[in-house]
């Protein structure tokens, strides 16, 4: 079993044959760095599962862009709000690295759900994970200092600090890029 299948089995409690059913209903796509996976204005009708690579999901309003989330290996990406509500998206999803992803449409998800009971469990677990992640992010933005927010990010995924430009990390953490520079310098001093 490859890393993606191991991740799906562990985190979504899926059997290998269920994983194969889900992945076979998806299209495997390859995107280049800088290529868009989804653009604002349309209703999001697809979800990507990243096999390899890195994407950013950006809120766009009045020419201002704010990083909403990053998605990387073994994680799902979509404008979930648009997907669930059926409203036009205000987000753009773009590759920060060359990316290989499985993509499944809303229609295919409905077809799978009507035929396979495991899809209900998968949907429930995904919704719970999304809720927890958004709750933790919002709580951190409201209560944690910039230093704590940065430390939480690199503790969760240390490689992101090397893979993502500092100005994008700053946007995601709702701080200025120079604040990240100061935090990093303080952290180096503490470790020295």
Between 93 and 4, the more confident residue is: 93
Domain-embedded: residue 61: yes
Domain-embedded: residue 185: no
Mean pLDDT lowest among 61-65, 100-104, 110-114, 120-124: 61-65
Instruction: Give the confidence band of 29 by pLDDT, cuts at 50, 70, 90.
Output: very high
Domain-embedded: residue 127: no
Q: What is the mean pLDDT of residues 86-97?
A: 95
pLDDT (0 to 100) of residue 13: 87
Domain-embedded: residue 69: yes
Residue 40's domain is classified under what CATH number?
A: 2.60.120.10
Domain-embedded: residue 34: yes
Q: pLDDT (tens digit, 9 = 90+) per residue, 33-67?
A: 999 999 999 999 999 999 999 999 999 878 788 99
Residue-number span of the structural domain to which 68 is assigned = 3-116
Domain-embedded: residue 170: no
Average predicted confidence (pLDDT) for the chain:
91
Among 107, 37, 121, 117, smallest CA distance to 79 is for 37
pTM comes to: 0.90
Mean pLDDT lowest among 60-64, 85-89, 109-113, 121-125: 60-64
Domain-embedded: residue 48: yes
Domain-embedded: residue 123: no
pLDDT score of 16 more than 70: yes
Report CA dihedral (123, 78, 83, 156) to the nearest 10 degrees: 50
Beta bridge partners of 177: none
pLDDT (0 to 100) of residue 1: 65
> How many structural domains are present in the chain?
1
Give the sign of the dihedral formed by CA 45, CA 48, CA 161, CA 144. Answer: positive
CA-CA distance, 137 to 154, in Å (whole number)?
Answer: 14
CA-CA distance, 159 to 176, in Å (whole number)?
Answer: 20
């Amino acid at each position: 079993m490859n890393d993606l299948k191991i991740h799906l089995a562990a985190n979504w409690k899926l059997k290998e044959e269920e994983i194969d059913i889900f992945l076979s209903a998806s299209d495997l796509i390859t995107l280049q760095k800088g290529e868009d996976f989804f653009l604002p204005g349309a209703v999001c009708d697809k979800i990507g599962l990243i096999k390899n690579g890195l994407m950013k999901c950006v809120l766009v309003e009045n020419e201002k862009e704010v990083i909403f989330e990053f998605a990387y290996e073994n994680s799902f990406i979509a404008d979930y709000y648009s997907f669930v509500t059926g409203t036009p998206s205000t987000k753009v999803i773009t590759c920060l690295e060359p990316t290989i992803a499985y993509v499944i449409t809303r229609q295919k998800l409905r077809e799978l759900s009507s035929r396979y009971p495991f899809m209900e469990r998968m949907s429930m677990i995904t919704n719970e994970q999304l809720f927890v992640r958004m709750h933790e992010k919002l709580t951190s933005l409201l209560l944690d200092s910039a230093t704590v927010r940065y430390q939480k990010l690199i503790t969760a995924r240390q490689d992101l600090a090397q893979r993502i430009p500092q100005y994008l990390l700053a946007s995601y953490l709702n701080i200025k890029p120079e604040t990240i520079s100061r935090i990093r310098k303080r952290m180096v001093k503490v470790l020295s």
